[in-house]
Structure 1
Amino acid sequence: MTADQLLTLVVAVLGGALRVGAPFLFVSLGECLTEKSGRINLGLEGVLVLSAMAAFGGAYASGSPWIGVAAGMLAGGLLASLHGVLCSLPRVNDVATGIALMLLGTGLAFDLGKPLIQPQAPQLPALALGGWSASPAVQAALQLNPLLPLGVLLALALGWLLRATRIGLLVRMAGDSADATRALGYSVAGLRIGATTAGGMVAGLGGACLTLFYPGSWNEGISSGQGLIAVALVIFARWSPLRCVGAALLFGGAGALGPALQSVGIGWGYHLFNVVPYLLTLAILVASCRPGRLAAGSPGELSAR
């Protein structure tokens, strides 16, 4: 491999990590907020797919990608709020409800999104950061999602909110000890419904990334399981919004490895490299979820289940 090919490969992996990692970032931040309140939302895959369809449909109907982004957030928040309300009922299991909501969200998206498979909706304008290079490959690799800086700022804001504000303290208290929260006169159900709804809206931005930037179209296989992978990503990030940024880039880079190798003429094992994110997810779950050992940073209510 020549020096130019090596540089192209490195830039392609970096650019791919930023593009592919954007949906991971938003979905993992949404799940991080939800789990901090003591609730697991395995329905994130349904939230992601439904918000991706809603974002594409909103942009197509209105002619504005930003209205599409708002539609994706709204759809994600509505489905997540349903999960939050159902899980607040007596004797309702978070995991079983999440699986049901995943099926509901994907089913609704597939049914309502059938007319959107062929049309093309307006796309989010890219941030061109490759102007310093004369290489077309570098310029193409550094066409970044305009929502990505928002995701980084959101991670910073969420970290500050959970650490230094009253509402953040209440969310963490609900996640660490429901009994203590009730003893102080606060509604555990209300806090968890609010956190789950807000988490769904954040995850909805990830759906908008999929259909309004990369890959930039709507089809029934758009998410490739990213909503479920995000649950493992949050464990890997130890429930820290700031660590979610690095974890999302790592998963994004793993997903971009195959296309990056293909861009420099290495086609062998292309499909093998496409499974790297899933192998990474499996490795994280095996390493982090051992019987009798609590993962560092895990909310107390989740550890007690």
Structure 2
Amino acid sequence: MTMSDIGLWSVPLAMLGGAIRVSTPFIFVSLGEAITERSGRINLGLEGTLVFGAMAAYAVAVETGSAWTGVVAAMLAGAGFGLLHAWICSFPKVNDIAVGIALMLFGIGLAFFFGKPYIQPAAPRLPAIPFGAWSDLPQIQAALSINVLFLAGIALAVALWWCFKNTRAGLIVRVVGDSAEAARAMGLNPTTVRLIATAVGGAFAAVGGAYLSLYYPGSWNERLSSGQGLMAVALVIFARWNPLGCLAAALLFGAAGALGPALQSAGVTQGYYLFYAAPYVLTLAIMIATSSPGRALAGAPGELSITR
């Protein structure tokens, strides 16, 4: 079988591979935001956390020669940004949306400042598992070369879904997110719970950034992110704060993002670049379709500022 025998199958194959590669950052950022919002806080600063995590992972990987050390460094940096966001928001009359926007700009600026020396050096890449090794076709091999973080993201989505439903920690986060007064009546401290949830959410978002710089596209530059952190907030709302829904939505967004490159690889030479806007158009369409002035958002935590 030769490459020419694939024919039109090259487009869905390219979309499959692209969906897997493009969706991985969405998975981690959306799961992190889902945890944060389930505790009753919205964090619009995850775009800055994502970019700073990408820079931190790349810089540490260059200095240590270990991609996984870079991922750990990104997680620590993301947790730090999450703690800073939660600490500022713990003060009275502080708007978490405004704080998130400020920290987004702060994180991006900080990443650009410290990341200047690491634009040229090459860092080690994260490993991928060649599930397509059984085939001699490059398209199949490329589509089924799956990074370890993608598989970890799937496992994490399932684990979070189970934890929210069946564990004490999941119940605590849900109670705090639904009613701070009820949480206090149960002897819980909403500020502490949100501090931990926002820190964990930031750590997850930074892992998405580490994937961008250490695997796909696998470099550090100031245009690495295309708004994945902000789009993940819309993705979480679309998924109705369900981790499994976040996984499905991330795959959908990833497939939309892979449409343009898939058409280009199939030999389409005109107009394919218009499809690069597909994820953004999809975001707008989903938000319009799921919004209604006459009904509340199903599954939304009661303490979220967007539900008040």
User: Residue by residue, what CA displacement relative to the aligned partner does 1:89-119 show, whole Å, maximum 9, x if unpaired?
Assistant: 1110010000000000000001100111111
Aligned letter for 1:67? T
CA distance in 2 between partners of 1:215 and 1:96 (Å): 31
Quote the residue 2:30 is aligned against: 28
Quote the residue 1:132 is aligned against: 134
CA distance in 2 between partners of 1:160 and 1:291 (Å): 32
Superposed, 1:192-271 pairs within 5 Å as 192-271=194-273
In the alignment, structure 1 segments of 5+ residues that lack a partner are: none
User: Residue by residue, what CA displacement relative to the aligned partner does 1:238-271 show, whole Å, maximum 9, x if unpaired?
Assistant: 1000111111110000001111111110122222
Residue of 78, 97, 100 corresponding to 1:98: 100
In the alignment, structure 2 segments of 5+ residues that lack a partner are: none
CA distance in 1 between partners of 2:90 and 2:289 (Å): 31
User: Residue by residue, what CA displacement relative to the aligned partner does 1:38-88 show, whole Å, maximum 9, x if unpaired?
Assistant: 000000100100001001111111000000110111111111110011111
Asked if structure 1 preserves the Cα contact closer than 8 Å seen for 2:26 and 2:250, the reply is yes
Structure 2 residue 73 is the aligned partner of structure 1 residue 80: no
SS, match of residue 185 in structure 1: coil
Asked if structure 1 preserves the Cα contact closer than 8 Å seen for 2:297 and 2:307, the reply is no
SS, match of residue 300 in structure 1: coil
CA distance in 1 between partners of 2:45 and 2:166 (Å): 29
Identity of aligned residues (%): 60
Asked if structure 1 preserves the Cα contact closer than 8 Å seen for 2:157 and 2:244, the reply is yes
Asked if structure 1 preserves the Cα contact closer than 8 Å seen for 2:27 and 2:246, the reply is yes
When structure 1 is superposed on structure 2, of 74-83 and 128-137 the one drifting more is 128-137
CA distance in 2 between partners of 1:214 and 1:154 (Å): 20
Residue of 45, 70, 78 corresponding to 2:72: 70
SS, match of residue 159 in structure 2: helix
User: Which consecutive segments of 4 or more residues in structure 1 shift more than 4 A?
Assistant: none
Aligned letter for 1:137? Q
CA distance in 2 between partners of 1:137 and 1:223 (Å): 26
Quote the residue 2:290 is aligned against: 288
CA distance in 2 between partners of 1:28 and 1:5 (Å): 35
Superposed, 1:138-177 pairs within 5 Å as 138-177=140-179
Structure 2 residue 57 is the aligned partner of structure 1 residue 61: no
CA distance in 2 between partners of 1:265 and 1:246 (Å): 29
Aligned letter for 2:212? L
Quote the residue 1:9 is aligned against: 11
When structure 1 is superposed on structure 2, of 99-108 and 279-288 the one drifting more is 279-288
Asked if structure 1 preserves the Cα contact closer than 8 Å seen for 2:24 and 2:150, the reply is yes
Aligned letter for 1:301? E
User: Residue by residue, what CA displacement relative to the aligned partner does 1:151-188 show, whole Å, maximum 9, x if unpaired?
Assistant: 11111111111111111101000110111111222111
TM-score (norm 1): 0.97
CA distance in 1 between partners of 2:107 and 2:123 (Å): 21
CA distance in 2 between partners of 1:128 and 1:159 (Å): 28
Asked if structure 1 preserves the Cα contact closer than 8 Å seen for 2:52 and 2:107, the reply is yes
Quote the residue 2:302 is aligned against: 300
CA distance in 2 between partners of 1:18 and 1:148 (Å): 7
Residue of 25, 29, 43 corresponding to 1:41: 43
Structure 2 residue 120 is the aligned partner of structure 1 residue 118: yes
Q: Cα distance, 1:304 vs. partner?
A: 4.0
Aligned letter for 2:68? W
Seen in structure 2, the aligned counterparts of structure 1 residues 3 and 294 have a Cα distance that, compared at 3 Å, is farther
CA distance in 2 between partners of 1:18 and 1:116 (Å): 27
Aligned letter for 1:59? A
Q: Cα distance, 1:3 vs. partner?
A: 6.5
